[in-house]
C-alpha cells in the first residue's frame, strides 16, 4: 500500500530540515491534535493518538534529500519517507510518502486514518516556523 501527501514548500533549507528531522523530540511538533502519548527513544519515538493503537517509529536515515522513518514493530512493515527537494538556499519542497505491506483486511482498516495522518503531518510541517 502506497500513500502520498501533497507537495509543500517549506521556508527552510534542506540542510536545516534534515537537522530538524534527525532529532526524535522534534517530531512531537508535527503530531496531530489528539496526541495522548509521546516518548522519545535513542533513535526514534513512540506516540499514541486518540482512538488508535500506539505506534513506534525509528529514524532510519536522514540526509539532505530525505528522512526515512521505519516501523519499530516487527508485526507492522512500513516506512514513512519525507522527500526533501531543495528549491533554493531558503526553500525546500517536501512530500510525505508512505509504503506499507499489509494484508487486504488491515489495509481496508488503516488506509483512511493513515492518509489523514499524512495530511496532518504535511500541514504541520508546512506551518512550522
Q: What local confidence, expressed as pLDDT, does residue 74 receive?
A: 77
Sketch out the chain's domains with CATH numbers.
2-127 (3.30.530.20)
Rounded CA-CA distance 121/76 in Å is 20
Pairing between β-strand 8-10 and β-strand 66-71 as defined by DSSP bridges: unpaired
Residue 110: the pLDDT is: 86
Residues 6+ apart with CB under 8 A from 39: 45, 46, 47
pTM of the entire predicted model: 0.92
From first to last of the 129 residues of the chain, give the pLDDT tens digit. 999 999 999 999 999 999 999 999 999 999 998 899 999 988 999 999 887 788 999 999 999 999 999 999 877 889 999 999 999 999 999 999 999 998 899 889 889 989 999 999 999 999 987
Contact 23, 115 (CB under 8 A): no
What integer pLDDT is reported at residue 117 of this predicted model?
Answer: 92
> Torsion over CA of 78, 55, 22 and 82, rounded to 10 degrees?
40
pLDDT score for 106: 86
Q: What is the pLDDT of residue 128?
A: 85
Amino acid at each position: 500500500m502506497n500513500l502520498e501527501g501533497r507537495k509543500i514548500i517549506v521556508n527552510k533549507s534542506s540542510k536545516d530540515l534534515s537537522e530538524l528531522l534527525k532529532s526524535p523530540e522534534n517530531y512531537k511538533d508535527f503530531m496531530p491534535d489528539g496526541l495522548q502519548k509521546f516518548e522519545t527513544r535513542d533513535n526514534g519515538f513512540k506516540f499514541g493518538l486518540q482512538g488508535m493503537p500506539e505506534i513506534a517509529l525509528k529514524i532510519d536515515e536522514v540526509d539532505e534529500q530525505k528522512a526515512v522513518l521505519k516501523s519499530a514493530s516487527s508485526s507492522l512493515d512500513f516506512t514513512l519517507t519525507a522527500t526533501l527537494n531543495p528549491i533554493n538556499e531558503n526553500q525546500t519542497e517536501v512530500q510525505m510518502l508512505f509504503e506499507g505491506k499489509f494484508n487486504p483486511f488491515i489495509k481496508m482498516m488503516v488506509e483512511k486514518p493513515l492518509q489523514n495522518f499524512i495530511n496532518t503531518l504535511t500541514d504541520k510541517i508546512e506551518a512550522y516556523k
